[in-house]
Chains A and B, each alone.
Chain A
Amino acid sequence: MAKTALFVTCIVDMVFPDTGEATLEILEKAGVRAEFPEGQTCCGQPAFNSGFQEDARDVARQFIRTFAGYDHIVTPSGSCAAMVRHYYPELFAHDSLRDQALHVAAHTWELSEYLVDVLGITDLGTTLPKPMRAVIHDACHGMRGLGISQQPRTLLSHVRNLELGVLNGHDQCCGFGGLFAVKMSDISGAMLNDKLANITTSDADFVITSDCSCLMHMNGGLSRRNSPKRVVHLAEVLAGRVAA
């Protein structure tokens, strides 16, 4: 049987443990007993995206050592999965960990693509506590970096009591961009405004996305504006953990 690991990501570990628990729950429902290797920390993306490639490589080394022994590595983040898949081969092209880097790059999956594309599961048998309407925000790295668009929609289309609408500008960046939100906070804030305008005018009860970093950014903006709208991680919806 394939050995599967959960890479929960640093942000979910520290800030959004509910999302991590929902992810494990879904994997169990899907018949996957995922291990949680204790050595995991971060994929290295914050440093890599800021140009600190040496620092990123150092941290990525820890990821590779932790996960190289697994057949599949599943993570509730398209952004972290894209980091591992696209940039590890390049970062370790001339490194003694090259082969292991290529292995983890080829076997790290974002949650919805793992369920739909790898396992062929489309219906997790989820029912929400009451009828609700939601829209999807397509997180950029998952969508453009990994081609994730249909997978979450397929899974969500089978959730009972959930009506999926379309968010205006659903494929437009929320302005997060990692340290971009701090270093270029004015531009990032303007992008966030555009995104929140679409969210607050939609008639959905909540917004679903599959990256906690974008989620933290959008919810931070909604909270600042005292908006009742919220962004919820895909895993929590699929686990039926949406407050009624």
Chain B
Amino acid sequence: MNASNSFKSSVVVALDDIQLQTALDRGTTRAVNGRISAMGETSAAPELRAQARAARLRALNQLPELLDTLERNVTANGGAVLWARTGAEANDTILQICREHGVRRVTKGKSMVTEESGLNHVLEAHDIEINESDLGEYIIQLAHEPPSHIVFPMLHKTKEATAELLHEKLGMPMTDKPEDMTRFVRGVMRRKYIEADLGISGVNFAIAETGTIITVENEGNNRLSCSTPKIHIAVMGLEKVLATWHDWTTLAQLLPRSATGQRMTVYTNLMSGPKREHEPDGPEKFYLLILDNGRSDMLAGEFAESLACIRCGACLNVCPVYQNIGGHAYGWVYPGPIGSIVSPLLQGIQKAPSLPYASSLCGACQAACPVDIAIPDMLLKLRRDLVKVHDPASASLPWRIGMRAWRIGMRSPLLYRIGGKLAAVGTRLLARNGKITRLPGILGGWTKSRDFPAFPAESFRERLAQKKKRVESQSRESE
């Protein structure tokens, strides 16, 4: 099955999945309302948004210098910075550290870049136990499912399905209360932190000027995971850097509001290197692993702005496409509108040729984006590129022929009138009671769930011409 057919069949499956539809409806509605009310509390949301955008674009413009500064400062703090060009390289580096320190057990906080690299599978293949520590991530790890949302990894699962899973896999007594499920998992997880030799985390932002990494979270799992084991590896995509703490003060106001509808998350972790001599706890070793995986190629081109993304997930929540098909149908780590840009760019456009078309271009994503990324414009540019490389997702032969015919007809007023006349005759032949219930060929998709109107016998311009004629003849008669 080619990439575009596999997207279409995933969509059909998703649309028919009642459990998924219930979960999506609950999850996205809650997230959208949360964001709107939290943003409403700020006195100057548009200005805040403009500042956040400026901070991110400034960071991208100075990226090489900022990454140098970050490396210098992390090193000065006693940490080590490691670089990986690809996901595979990142996994190898982590595996190397595990070997060096005899690591057997790992706990991990939420991290999308390690989803990109497929780290969990690699560690498991080398007999290293890895436990996701974020509640949602842990639950889908038990279910052997990938995350379906950047912020709410188990948004595709209802609480009812979750209770069944925990009951089946871990013997939890059945309950419909999320609080009870959380308490149960907490009990399971505590021991894992104590036993772990290594904690892995993602990075929300790295502050270049002091070499500090920041993670925001609500469960305290990330803090435990980063500080209990004797080694901490933080993994970040190379775009996640901010120049200054001042920039962070702007983004700190927007990230939780946009992501979870909170003024602040319960925990904001600022980590500057390993434990110092006088400190009672914290990791003895700290590594910051910086992953490229296609990002520097994006930085050079017209899609650079998509690297300003702060992974809040707001564009997913408001997207009517995401709301209907959920995250898994997108087929890779990053779903939703931003995923439809980033996934084709990071993996290669031929691997995800349908995603740029999985949008009605309604613009709800850009309106919700805390850094105002021009998502619809970038989807249009990707479509342009797909047409250029003759990808069948954009342009199978009938589409190309249709588009050519349209172009020839529309650039000449005479052919346009003839085409309009033919369309009027054609639609009137196909119609019963003024409506068409089945359109032929590549247009058949329309009539799957909607009727198509028969065109009136006379176009607007024909009516106008006749009216003009009538007026003229009347004025001649009166002369």
Chain A contacts to B: CB under 8 angstroms: 8, 10, 12-17, 20-21, 24, 36, 38-42, 44, 46-53, 55, 58-59, 61-62, 140-141, 144-145, 171-173, 175-178, 180-194, 216-217, 219-221, 223-224
Smallest CB gap from A46: residue in B: B406
Smallest CB gap from B416: residue in A: A41
Contact A144–B363 (Cβ < 8 Å): yes
Write the nearest CB–CB distance from B459 to chain A, whole angstroms: 5
Write the nearest CB–CB distance from A201 to chain B, whole angstroms: 16
Q: Across the A-B interface, how many residue pairs have beta carbons closer than 8 Å? A: 192
Contact A183–B357 (Cβ < 8 Å): yes
Contact B406–A173 (Cβ < 8 Å): no
**C-beta contact mask, B253-287 vs A, less than 8 Å → 1, else 0?**
00000000000000000000000000000000000
A12 and B460 in contact (CB under 8 A), knowing A183-B357, A187-B324?
Answer: yes
* Chain A hits for B443, CB < 8 A: 182
Smallest CB gap from A195: residue in B: B320
* Chain A hits for B451, CB < 8 A: 220-221, 223-224
**How long is the Cα–Cα vector from A184 to B8 in the complex, in angstroms?**
8
**How long is the Cα–Cα vector from A49 to B387 in the complex, in angstroms?**
11
* Chain B hits for A55, CB < 8 A: 403-404, 406-407
Partner of B448, one of A10, A13, A61, A185: A185
Contact B464–A184 (Cβ < 8 Å): no
Q: Is B15 an interface residue (CB 8 A)?
A: yes
**How long is the Cα–Cα vector from A81 to B356 in the complex, in angstroms?**
23
Smallest CB gap from B15: residue in A: A190
**How long is the Cα–Cα vector from A217 to B359 in the complex, in angstroms?**
16
Residues 351 to 374 of chain B near chain A (Cβ within 8 Å): 356-364, 366-367
Smallest CB gap from A43: residue in B: B410
* Chain B hits for A182, CB < 8 A: 442-446
**How long is the Cα–Cα vector from A240 to B349 in the complex, in angstroms?**
50
Contact A13–B461 (Cβ < 8 Å): yes
Q: How many residues of B contact A (CB 8 A)?
A: 64
Write the nearest CB–CB distance from A167 to chain B, whole angstroms: 15
Task: State the main secondary structure of chain A at its contact with B.
Answer: helix
**How long is the Cα–Cα vector from A10 to B370 in the complex, in angstroms?**
36
* Chain A hits for B380, CB < 8 A: 48-49, 51
**How long is the Cα–Cα vector from A33 to B410 in the complex, in angstroms?**
26
Q: A8-B460, A49-B380, A62-B412 are in contact. List 20 more A-B contacts (CB 8 A).
A: A13-B420, A14-B420, A17-B459, A47-B406, A50-B403, A51-B382, A52-B395, A53-B384, A55-B404, A59-B410, A62-B410, A140-B363, A177-B359, A186-B12, A186-B448, A188-B445, A189-B449, A189-B450, A191-B320, A219-B453
**How long is the Cα–Cα vector from A17 to B461 in the complex, in angstroms?**
8
Contact A181–B445 (Cβ < 8 Å): yes
Q: Is B413 an interface residue (CB 8 A)?
A: yes
Q: Is B435 an interface residue (CB 8 A)?
A: yes
Q: List 16 A-B contacts (CB under 8 A).
A: A8-B461, A36-B461, A49-B383, A50-B383, A50-B395, A50-B399, A51-B394, A55-B407, A172-B364, A186-B12, A187-B325, A191-B321, A191-B360, A192-B449, A221-B450, A221-B451
* Chain A hits for B464, CB < 8 A: 20, 24, 36
Contact A181–B420 (Cβ < 8 Å): no
A38 and B413 in contact (CB under 8 A), knowing A175-B360, A184-B358?
Answer: yes
Q: Is B458 an interface residue (CB 8 A)?
A: yes
* Chain A hits for B325, CB < 8 A: 187, 190
The 6 A-B pairs of least Cβ separation, nearest first, read A177-B360, A51-B383, A185-B445, A220-B450, A189-B449, A173-B362
**How long is the Cα–Cα vector from A27 to B453 in the complex, in angstroms?**
27
Contact A189–B460 (Cβ < 8 Å): no
**How long is the Cα–Cα vector from A10 to B415 in the complex, in angstroms?**
13
**How long is the Cα–Cα vector from A61 to B363 in the complex, in angstroms?**
26
Q: Is B411 an interface residue (CB 8 A)?
A: yes
Smallest CB gap from B318: residue in A: A172
Partner of A52, one of B324, B403, B409, B446: B403
Write the nearest CB–CB distance from B431 to chain A, whole angstroms: 11
A220 and B453 in contact (CB under 8 A), knowing A21-B463, A173-B362, A188-B360?
Answer: yes
Partner of B364, one of A14, A36, A144: A144
* Chain B hits for A14, CB < 8 A: 420, 423-424, 455, 459-460
A186 and B407 in contact (CB under 8 A), knowing A13-B420, A221-B450?
Answer: no
Contact B459–A13 (Cβ < 8 Å): yes
Write the nearest CB–CB distance from A35 to chain B, whole angstroms: 11
